[in-house]
Chain A
Amino acid sequence: MAIGVVCPLTDRSTDMAYTSDEVWVCWNQECISSTASNLVVWTYWNIEHNSSHVVTTNADFASSPPIIITEEENHRSRQYEVEKAKKRKEAREKAEALLLANLSPEQRDQFKKQGNFVVHSSDKDRFYRVTYGQAGNVLLIEKASGKVLKRLCIHPPFEHGLPTEDVMLAQKLLLEADEKAFLKTANHHAA
């Protein structure tokens, strides 16, 4: 699938398939998927990062007639994207603040240093590492060695547009309050 990437801040667009380093570095940090062309993947990308890059499929280019945009419309569009990026940044900062306020001092330290934190489920004496991300980011680990035993995927629908830090907090709260419900709801994947 050829992918065109439009950067609203620069208005540069291309219908060539290319892999921006920034796109894939960010993708690897935040999502784990073997199907890079999965529409759900790009939906997630657009929701999480559409402040700077918007990914469209080849079909969008093929089926849409050329659109003539005036300079004024172009300027308004850029201003809109800049404002959206600013709001997105503010939302992430607010979500991070709420997350940090609801972590133990040890978890807070882990998150600040590594971008993840360990949750102890007292129910079955199990340990989970909540890594930075929204999908497939919760790992069942062996406490002593840190070895990953299983990967779990559970999150609110991406349409809610929650910042990643909110999702991580929601995962932590459910895991600690009702591990059984967490495990029943999550999709389980091999490590």
Chain B
Amino acid sequence: MTPQQVLDIKLSPNQGLLAVMNDTGDTKTIWDRNNADEVEAARAQFDFFKKKGYMAYKIVVEGTKGEIISKFDPSAERIIFAPPMGGGM
């Protein structure tokens, strides 16, 4: 996706997006809040990466700071997962 395409991602009012950073850039999952199966699938993915020590950030508005969350929030519009970080050289 081009930067503009990512910027232009228009989720419907019922949708949320979860992006997990990895060596391909990131893997995105979109869920429909009105679809219980999709919500559970997104929740399972959230719990999986939280157990691995990833940090979850709920983004409220683009460009503003994210809020660290420890539990899956199906009402979130965007959630970004980053791997755990440590002090480098």
- Contacts A135-B89, A136-B88; is A102 near B63 (CB within 8 Å)? yes
User: Does B87 sit within 8 A of A, measured CB to CB?
Assistant: yes
List residues of B (48-74) whose CB comes within 8 Å of A's CBs: 55, 57, 59, 62-68
Q: B7 touching A101 by the CB < 8 A rule?
A: yes
CB-based contact A95/B63 at 8 Å: no
Tell me if A174 is interfacial: C-beta within 8 Å of chain B: yes
User: Dominant SS at the B interface?
Assistant: mixed
Query: In the complex, which of the residues A100, A161, A173 contacts B66, with contact meaning CB atoms closer than 8 Å?
Result: A173
Which A97-114 residues have C-beta < 8 A from chain B?
97-98, 100-105, 107-108
- Whether, in the assembled complex, B44 has its beta carbon less than 8 Å from a beta carbon of chain A, the answer is no
Question: Is A170 in contact with B24, judged by CB distance below 8 angstroms?
Answer: no
- The answer to whether A92 and B23 touch (CB under 8 A), given A33-B89, A97-B3, A101-B62, is no
Segment of A8-16, A65-73, A148-156 engaged in the interface with chain B? A148-156
Minimum CB–CB distance from A58 to chain B (whole Å) comes to: 22
Q: Is the pair B23, A91 in contact by a Cβ cutoff of 8 Å?
A: yes
Given contacts A98-B26, A177-B57, contact A156 B83 (CB under 8 A): yes
Interchain CB contact (< 8 A) of B24 among A87, A100, A174: A87
Q: When chains A and B are docked, how far (Å) is the Cα of A153 from the Cα of B23?
A: 20
A107 — which chain B residues lie within 8 A by C-beta? 63
Q: Which chain A residues border B55 with CB–CB below 8 Å?
A: 170, 173-174
| B76 beta carbon closer than 8 Å to chain A | no
Decide: A100 and B6 in contact? CB cutoff 8 A. Answer: yes
B68 CB contacts on chain A under 8 angstroms: 177-178
CB < 8 Å: which of A94, A136, A174 contacts B85?
A174
Interface contact A170-B21, CB-CB below 8 Å: yes
Docked-complex contact A94 and B24, CB < 8 angstroms: yes
Q: Which of A90, A103, A156, A187 contacts B63 (CB 8 A)?
A: A103
The answer to whether A160 touches B24 (Cβ under 8 A) is no
Q: A101 contacts which chain B residues (CB < 8 A)?
A: 3, 6-7, 9, 62
Contacting pair A104 B21 (CB below 8 A):
no
Contact of B25 among A95, A171, A174 (CB under 8 A): A95
For B25, B59, B62, B84, the residue with the greatest tally of chain A CB atoms inside 10 Å of its CB is: B25
Given contacts A97-B6, A173-B57, A187-B87, contact A166 B65 (CB under 8 A): no
- Interchain Cβ contacts under 8 Å between A and B, 5 examples: A33-B89, A98-B19, A102-B63, A157-B83, A166-B21
